Amino acid sequence: MLIAVLSGGPSSEYEVSLKSGEMVREGLDINRYEPVSVRIDKSGVWEISPEDIRKNMNCAFIAMHGTYGEDGTVQRILESHRIPYTGSDSLASAIGMNKFLSSRLFKDAGLSVPDTVLVAKNEWRSSLDAVVLKAEYNLGYPMVVKPNNQGSSVDVFIVKNRWELKDAVTHTLSFYKETLVQKFVSGREFTCGVLDHGWADSAFPLAPIEIIPQSSPFFDYKAKYETGGSLEITPPENVSSADMRRIRDAAVLAHRLINASGVSRTDMIMDSDGRLFVLEINTIPGLTRESLIPKGAGASGISFSRLLDMIVRAAIARHKLG
Active site members: 13, 152, 291
Binding residues, by number, are: 267, 280, 282
d(CA 50, CA 107): 38
* 308-to-69, 83, 166, 194, 263 alpha-carbon distances in Å: 18, 18, 43, 13, 10
200 phi-psi bin (left φ>0, alpha ψ -120 to 50, beta other): alpha
Angle at 177 between CA 172 and CA 269, to 5 degrees: 60
Residue 50: asked if its preceding bond is cis (omega within 30°), the reply is no
d(CA 142, CA 277): 17
Do residues 191 and 284 lie in contact, with contact meaning Cβ atoms separated by under 8 Å?
A: no
Binding residues for Mg(2+), by number, are: 267, 280, 282
Q: What is the DSSP letter of 8?
A: E
Measuring CA to CA, which residue among 56, 88, 95, 93 is closest to residue 315? 88
Do residues 318 and 199 lie in contact, with contact meaning Cβ atoms separated by under 8 Å?
A: yes
